[in-house]
Amino acid sequence: MISQAKLDSIRDFQKFAERFLIVKDKAGVKKYFTFNRAQSYLHERLARQKESTGRVRACILKGRQQGCSTYIQARFFHQIITSRGKKAFILTHDKEATNNLFNMAKRFNENLEPGLCPKPNTDNAKELNFKQLDSGYAIGTAGNKAVGRSQTVQLFHGSEVAFWAFAEDHSKGILQAISNEPGTEIILESTANGIGNYFHERWLSGMSPDSEYQSIFLPWYWNDEYSHNSENMHLSDEEEYLVSQYGKNGLTNDNLSWRRLKINEFSKDFDAGRERFNVEYPFNSIEAFKNPIHNVFINSKYVEFARAAKVDMGSKLIIGVDVAISDRDRTAIIRRKGRCAYNLERVSHLNTMEIAGRVKRIITEEKPDKVYIDCIGIGAGVVDRLNEMGYDCVEGVNVARSANDKERYKNQRAELWGDMRDWLYQDMPVQIPDEDTLHGELCSLGFKENSNGQVQIESKDDLRARGLPSPDGADALCLTFAGGFHGVQTAIEVPKLMPHERGMFR
């Protein structure tokens, strides 16, 4: 007969983990799962939410290797073998990560005390099912838009959500398949990958007291492994400030000593290394949500200035239109008068004739001097239709053609982004719509200098490979400069690409 003490350990997740669940540390040594500080904090937050609402809905922003995924797999495994009718689904950004997380659950099962739960009826590379309990696991990768749509799921773990290739599709697919019944759980976790993407929007939503989600931040220095002997270490002014800000929350001199080593590992240039560190190992969410590549074409601080600025509208009205009809992208329409860009619209699921009709109404009502439309692909149909109706102010822009300044830029797209950059960087203040999505788009692109000395910016395909959406609003804004911008040109310092960035700009 099972003892009361053992029964209590089975019912209580934390006790269950410490007594029955085997994990591997970084050295590959098996040991029982004991919560670290980040896991304990996460456990407390989720338990409190479940007690008050009956469900778990969480968006977790973390530094690298905080043990968050291990905790979630253990949490779901515990529920699967101690409850009936619980199905868990794991969705990650790539196949390797999916397999790693699923192998964690399989390791829990393989090392479980005999007789503690029935043997699984299905135990393969994609499923772990316990027919007697009507419970089990299934896995998928975010590269497949339709993954998990047919599943019935009560427990969902989205891993590295900021890097999902089709995040919006999954939010409308698998996430909608999870009911609001008591006991259901949706846990989304990720390191940051810039702003304006699905994960960032979900994080911001979770910050609102009215949201069903809660946003949870796990600072890097809660990981005991991120420390190095700080004996005889003299703190810099910056480090003294960090201690004053985060010391009460657990930051130690040993953490800062480890931070110095890591910054130097990232780059011999301290400022560049520190920027990279702050994204990978953030002290707070604001630091985390910066572009994770260091060769960003447009610096975030200039976009921040433009979001906060208020300037008088001057000059003639110019409109930029970036046309899209795919499920992934949206048509973006923005207005600009001199130093003020305003009224950015984003529309989805319109065909070319509907887009032409919308632009026609804008021309009739607002009487712009020029409307510049990206005419590569489907945009050409919109331009042709509007020209056919007699709107001579409409002009197609082929951003793939050669730049006017061929010595400086590889193509017109790079040149238009360069003009937009100069506009943002000029001494006179400029104004743009105050929205996170546009901010993220403007600061999303990396760049390099090719063998001919021309500036080349990152493609949309490379952006998607990094889990970032197409910069539709920013592309629309850059089109407003197709007629020329006579501002103060800024020098572009082209940094050496980091190893993980060398595959860009194919």
CA nearest neighbour of 369 among 409, 328, 338, 330? 338
Residues of the chain with pLDDT under 70: 1-8, 125, 143-151, 291-294, 326-328, 465-467, 485-506
- From the number of C-beta atoms within 10 Å of its C-beta (0-12, 13-18, 19+), residue 458 rates as buried
* Whole-number Å distance between alpha carbons of 100 and 265: 26
Q: Which domains does the chain have, with CATH numbers?
A: 4-218 (3.40.50.300), 237-288 (no CATH), 300-501 (3.30.420.240)
Cβ-count burial 464-474 (b if 16+ within 10 Å, e if not): eebbbbbbbbb
Instruction: Please give the structure tokens belonging to residue 219.
Output: 């600072």
pLDDT attached to residue 267 = 84
* Whole-number Å distance between alpha carbons of 403 and 411: 4
Contact 397, 412 (CB under 8 A): yes
Question: 């992208």: which residue's tokens?
Answer: 329
Question: 């070319």: which residue's tokens?
Answer: 352
Question: 């040993």: which residue's tokens?
Answer: 254
CA nearest neighbour of 155 among 128, 118, 132? 128
Instruction: Please give the structure tokens belonging to residue 22.
Output: 């085997």
* Whole-number Å distance between alpha carbons of 193 and 467: 8
Q: Which residues contact 301 (CB under 8 A, 6 or more apart)?
A: none
CA nearest neighbour of 97 among 122, 130, 68? 68
pLDDT attached to residue 81 = 87
pTM of the predicted model, to two decimals?
Answer: 0.68
Query: What does residue 401 show for φ and ψ, rounded to 5 degrees?
Result: -75, 175
Q: Which residues contact 127 (CB under 8 A, 6 or more apart)?
A: 136, 137, 138, 139
Q: Which stretch of DSSP H or E encloses residue 112?
A: none
Please give the full DSSP string across 337-395, using - where no structure is assigned.
ETTEEEEEEEE-S--HHHHHHHHHHHHHHH--SEEEEE-STTHHHHHHHHHHTT-TTEE
Question: Radius of gyration (Cα) for the chain, nearest Å?
Answer: 26
* Whole-number Å distance between alpha carbons of 77 and 133: 13
- In DSSP terms, 91 is beta-bridged to 140, 158
Question: 């316990």: which residue's tokens?
Answer: 130
- From the number of C-beta atoms within 10 Å of its C-beta (0-12, 13-18, 19+), residue 397 rates as buried
* Whole-number Å distance between alpha carbons of 77 and 105: 6
pLDDT attached to residue 489 = 44
Please give the full DSSP string across 472-497, using - where no structure is assigned.
HHHHHHHHTTTT-----------PPP
120 DSSP assignment: P
pLDDT attached to residue 178 = 84
Contact 161, 130 (CB under 8 A): no
* Whole-number Å distance between alpha carbons of 93 and 284: 23
Contact 408, 417 (CB under 8 A): no
Question: 């399989």: which residue's tokens?
Answer: 106
Please give the full DSSP string across 8-34, using - where no structure is assigned.
HHHHSHHHHHHHH-EEE-TTS-EEE--
CA nearest neighbour of 275 among 301, 255, 312, 249? 301
C-alpha dist (Å) from residue 158 to 78, 133, 199, 296: 18, 24, 10, 28
